[in-house]
Structure formats: structure tokens, C-alpha cells
């Protein structure tokens, strides 16, 4: 029997209020239709309109909290993202929006990088993760103190350089979906998956090159939001981490034997 345990850590930009965090993170267990556990993170563009709503709309929709979760194909993701765009535009929270806000929604819109992951065949012969990404949110698959795979495989110096993502305008959305990247990897007992938005992911990718054992020991041992925020504050002060919203989701896999034996006579 395979168990997954996930935890989300986050922090807004230094100097910003808690409500100004513009990332999103969501998780959902396996469902009764054969879909495995799902996890997602997104990073809303600071210069957009309603960026936090857009990022949070995307992650909630991907895991199935709003409508049907999409299959990981380009066509299914396009239908799903179009539905998310409609929900973002028609959000009832905008009922009292001013004319200026409506204008910004229509002309500026929003944009978010996105990473979604599903675990498959956890009780079968080939347990694995499969994921889709647009932009520089990153999945790190770690076994022991070693990165088995990084998806997308972005070098530290490539973060923040005009990344792909999901926009709220229809034409841009259709074009960007075609640029989505897909990957998968085999899983083993005790593996850890880390899903991170760009500022934290860039720091992780850089630190992994320098001191991987210390890095993965630290991240595996994070056990409180304040410990995470202290880590982020220290790395920002040392100018090792860009001052941006940060999000880290950690998923731990644990293969356990059945706890009960039922005998029918």
C-alpha cells in the first residue's frame, strides 16, 4: 500500500503583506475513476490583473476542485484552461468591480507559470509521476540526497528570462498550450517530490550543484512554516534568492504493508 504525504510552504515577497502572495498551490487524493493523487503550483505575474486569483484558479482546477480535472494531453489541457479562463473572467467576487478594474481585466489580464503532477499506478508494477509544465515552476524528484530528475530541466541562469505560462486572453492561451512540456519518472519507496515556483526553484537548482546533501537534508526536515520562512529570509539576506513570492510543496512517498488482514471463511 502506497501512502503520500504532502505539505505546502510559502512566503510573500519581503515587504509585502500576506494577502499579496500571488502564487497558488493545491493537492487532491486519488479519485474513484482511476486518477491518481494530483499536485500543482502556479506563479501569477506581478504586473497582471487578478494574478493571485488566476494562479489559484489554475491549481484548484487541475486537481479537480473546480470542475473535472483534465487529462495530461494538449487537447484536454486546452479545454480545461479555456474553462478556467471563463471562470476567472466571471468570478462572482468581481460583481462590484469598478469600470477601471473591468478595463484592466479586459486589456491587461493576467499570466501564470504552471506545473501540474499526477502519481500513477501506485499499487501496480510501475509506480510513476507524470507532469506538465509551462514556464519556470519546477519539479525535483529526489531519492536519498540525489536529484533523480528535474522537470523542466532549467539551468540556474535561465530562470526569469521571459518564461512561458498560461495567459487569460483566448488567443494567447491557445498558442501557449501548444508549448507545454510533458515528462514522467519512475518512483520508489521513500522518494520525495518537490514542486517549487521560480525564485525558490532557482535557489534549489543552484544549491544542488554546490552542496546537494545539505540541501536535501534541510528540505526533507522542514517541519514548520516559520522554519521555511526563516530559511527564505536568510537566503534573501545573503542575496542567494530573488525577492519574489515563493512556494514549495513537498510530497513524500511511503510504501507500507497492509495494516490489517481480513480473512473470509
pLDDT for position 46:
85
Q: What is the dihedral of CA 76, 155, 194, 112, to 10 degrees?
A: -50
The answer to whether residues 21 and 229 touch, using CB atoms and an 8 Å cutoff, is: no
Strand partners, 27: 39
**Can you tell me the distance from the alpha carbon of 242 to that of 202, in angstroms, rounded to the nearest whole number?**
9
Tens of each residue's pLDDT in the chain, 265 residues: 578 999 999 999 999 999 999 999 999 999 877 899 999 999 999 888 889 999 999 999 999 998 889 999 999 999 999 999 999 888 767 656 676 677 677 666 899 999 999 999 998 999 999 999 999 999 999 999 999 999 999 999 999 767 899 999 988 999 999 999 999 999 999 999 999 999 999 999 999 999 999 999 999 999 999 999 999 999 999 999 999 999 999 999 987 654 544 444 3
Instruction: Report DSSP letters for 229-240, one per residue.
Output: HHHHHHHHHTT-
Phi, psi of 30 (to 5 degrees): -60, 150
pLDDT at 209: 93
Q: What is the pLDDT of residue 48?
A: 81
Residue 261: predicted pLDDT: 46
Report the C-alpha gap between 39 and 36 in whole angstroms: 10
Question: In the chain, what are the domain boundaries?
Answer: 2-255
Q: For domain 2-255, give the CATH number.
A: 3.60.40.10
Q: How many Å apart are CA 69 and CA 62, to the nearest integer?
A: 5
Predicted TM-score (pTM) of the model is 0.92
Amino acid at each position: 500500500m502506497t501512502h503520500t504525504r504532502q505539505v505546502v510552504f510559502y512566503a510573500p515577497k519581503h515587504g509585502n503583506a500576506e494577502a499579496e502572495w500571488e502564487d497558488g498551490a493545491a493537492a487532491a487524493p486519488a479519485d474513484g475513476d482511476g486518477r491518481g493523487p494530483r499536485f500543482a503550483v502556479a506563479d501569477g505575474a506581478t504586473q497582471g490583473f487578478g494574478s493571485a486569483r488566476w494562479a489559484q484558479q489554475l491549481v484548484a482546477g487541475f486537481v479537480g476542485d473546480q470542475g473535472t480535472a483534465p487529462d495530461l494531453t494538449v487537447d484536454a489541457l486546452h479545454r480545461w484552461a479555456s474553462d478556467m479562463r471563463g471562470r476567472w473572467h466571471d468570478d462572482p467576487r468581481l460583481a462590484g468591480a469598478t469600470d477601471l478594474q473591468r478595463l484592466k481585466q479586459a486589456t491587461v489580464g493576467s499570466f501564470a507559470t504552471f506545473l501540474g503532477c499526477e502519481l500513477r499506478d501506485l499499487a501496480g508494477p510501475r509506480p510513476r509521476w507524470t507532469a506538465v509544465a509551462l514556464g519556470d515552476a519546477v519539479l525535483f524528484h529526489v531519492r536519498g540526497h540525489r536529484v533523480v530528475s528535474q522537470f523542466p530541466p532549467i539551468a540556474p541562469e535561465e530562470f526569469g528570462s521571459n518564461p512561458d505560462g498560461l495567459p487569460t486572453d483566448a488567443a494567447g492561451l491557445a498558442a501557449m498550450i501548444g508549448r507545454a512540456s510533458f515528462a514522467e519518472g519512475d518512483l520508489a519507496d521513500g522518494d520525495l517530490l518537490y514542486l517549487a515556483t521560480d525564485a525558490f526553484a532557482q535557489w534549489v537548482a543552484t544549491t544542488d550543484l554546490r552542496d546537494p546533501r545539505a540541501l536535501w537534508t534541510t528540505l526533507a526536515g522542514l517541519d514548520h512554516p516559520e522554519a521555511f520562512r526563516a530559511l527564505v529570509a536568510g537566503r534573501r539576506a545573503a542575496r542567494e534568492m530573488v525577492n519574489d513570492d515563493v512556494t514549495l510543496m513537498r510530497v513524500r512517498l511511503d510504501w507500507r504493508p497492509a495494516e490489517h488482514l481480513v480473512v473470509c471463511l
